[in-house]
Amino acid sequence: MSFPVVGVVGGGQLARMMAGPAIELGVTLRVLAKEPAESAAQVVPGTVVDDETDLEALRRFARGCDVLTFDHEQVPTEHLEALEAEGFAVRPGSAALVHAQDKGVMRERLTALGVPCPRWRLVDGIEALRGFGDEIGWPVVLKTTRGGYDGRGVRLVEEADEAADWFARGGRLLVEERVDYNRELAVIVARSPHGQAAVYPVVETVQVDGVCREVFAPAEISEDHALAAQRAALDIAEGLGVTGILAVEMFDTRAGVLVNELAMRPHNSGHWTIEGARTSQFEQHLRAVLDLPLGETRMTAPRVAMSNVLGGEIAEMYPGYLHCFAHDPGVRIHMYGKHVRPGRKVGHVTTVGDDAADVRARAVHAAAFLRGDIDE
């Protein structure tokens, strides 16, 4: 057995951030990207540019890889089933991944597993939506079952008639109670085909308009809630047969934690692990999909903060490095090679230290400076 080839479907920043750990492990990374200028395609030799929604293109790509994994959840489930039937190693497998692709399937399965969720229902029209809202109270959260991310495919509905446009497209929608939460949490867990699992500390995530802005590790919550959150993430990883990284986004409520969303790949809520944990989520994902024993998840410092750099007024972020690094020799900047567009995630910054308020302020400052919100 020589060094294996890991193929990543999708050329975004998650694939890009797997590149460094793959280089260090001596594992070959291959990327299937939509276009040659994509984030990961810029930095990974031999990137294949092809249509990831075409089964034959996926098959061609998979033939050059020992294991196939993902940068996102947009690959058609039926294509993954076909590849598995042909003997390709797909990790996570289609039977697990569908829970991150289809929120209706996810809710049904988590409920069957006994994982605490917000109250939910799959509804096929305005009458059914009205019935749910009248029963549990308005407003409610309406979601498309597939295709949503970063706040897309999710809306708050005050009364049933508002949703006529979405129902007009056909198909079922997922409706959920609007949860009254104290904060949003996330748990990253890795699981290997062997069944070994490793869980990271629970983090607090700050979302603005459905987009992750900041992550603070560890979350300042009770030990009971933290353990319940980690338990839920481990139960989901085991119950769904996840391989690789699973990110579980949760609400922290007075009554306990409720699962909001799942992702089966390295996730924005785990970027802090690059500096903040003994093994980053990107190395851990590679180890998990390769069925290697998992690495230590403990933190490298008592407090870690991550702030996303969203596109703002400034098109060129590199000149900002001078001030950011001079201002704070401890800040670490990560850029994804993406053109700046307002609101687009183009990078992130991380700080580590002993004091929660200090690391937060430093990370928020650096990200704000890079995007041009502040000038000193």
Q: How far is the CB of 91 from a second copy (least distance, A)?
A: 17
Q: By C-beta, is 25 or 113 nearer to a second copy? A: 25
Cα–Cα distance list, 315 to 307, 310, 312, 350, 371 (Å): 18, 11, 8, 21, 8
Tokens describing residue 174: 């997922």
Tell the smallest beta-carbon distance from residue 330 to a second copy (Å): 5
Q: Toward a second copy, which CB reaches closer, 79 or 334?
A: 334
CB 94 within 8 A of CB 80: yes
DSSP states of 6-33: EEEE--SHHHHHHHHHHHHHTPEEEEEE
Q: CB of residue 8 vs a second copy: minimum separation in angstroms?
A: 14
> Two tokens at 40?
């990961």
Give the nearer residue to a second copy in terms of CB position, either 3 or 63: 3
Q: Tell me whether residue 143 or residue 362 sits nearer to a second copy (CB atom).
A: 362
Q: How far is the CB of 264 from a second copy (least distance, A)?
A: 22
Chain residues that interact with a second copy, rule: CB under 8 A? 1-4, 16-17, 19-21, 23-26, 28, 42-45, 47, 198, 274-275, 278-279, 287, 292-296, 300-301, 316-319, 321-322, 325-326, 329-330, 332-337, 347, 352
Whole-number Å distance between alpha carbons of 49 and 33 = 5
**Which of residues 143 and 271 has its CB atom nearest to a second copy in the complex?**
271
User: Min. distance of Cβ 248 from a second copy in angstroms?
Assistant: 22
273 HSE (CA, 13 A, CB side):
32
Minimum CB distance to a second copy smaller for 222 or for 300: 300
Instruction: Say if residue 95 is exposed, middle or buried (CB neighbours under 10 Å; 0-12, 13-18, 19+).
Output: middle
What single-letter DSSP state applies at residue 75?
A: S
Shortest CB 46 distance to a second copy, Å: 8
- Cα(280)–Cα(181) distance, integer angstroms: 29
β pairing state of 345-353 and 120-123: unpaired
* Residue with smaller CB distance to a second copy, 221 or 340: 340
Q: Which amino acid is at 57?
A: A
DSSP structure class, residue 90 = B
Shortest distance (Å) from residue 296 CB to a second copy? 5
Nearer to a second copy, 30 or 265 (CB): 30
- What's the min distance (Å) between Cβ of 32 and a second copy? 15
Nearer to a second copy, 143 or 287 (CB): 287
Distance between start and end Cα atoms, the chain: 53
Structure tokens at 130: 């009205």
Residue of 342, 286, 271 whose CA lies nearest to 310: 342
How far is residue 345's CA from residue 306's CA, in Å, rounded to a whole number?
13
Q: Are strands 48-49 and 173-177 parallel, antiparallel or unpaired?
A: unpaired
**257 and 228 Cβ atoms separated by less than 8 Å:** yes
Sheet (strand 48-49) strand order = 48-49, 28-33, 5-9, 67-70
- Our CB check for a second copy shows the closer of 319 and 342 to be 319
Residue 26: CB minimum distance to a second copy, A: 3
Q: Tell the smallest beta-carbon distance from residue 328 to a second copy (Å).
A: 9
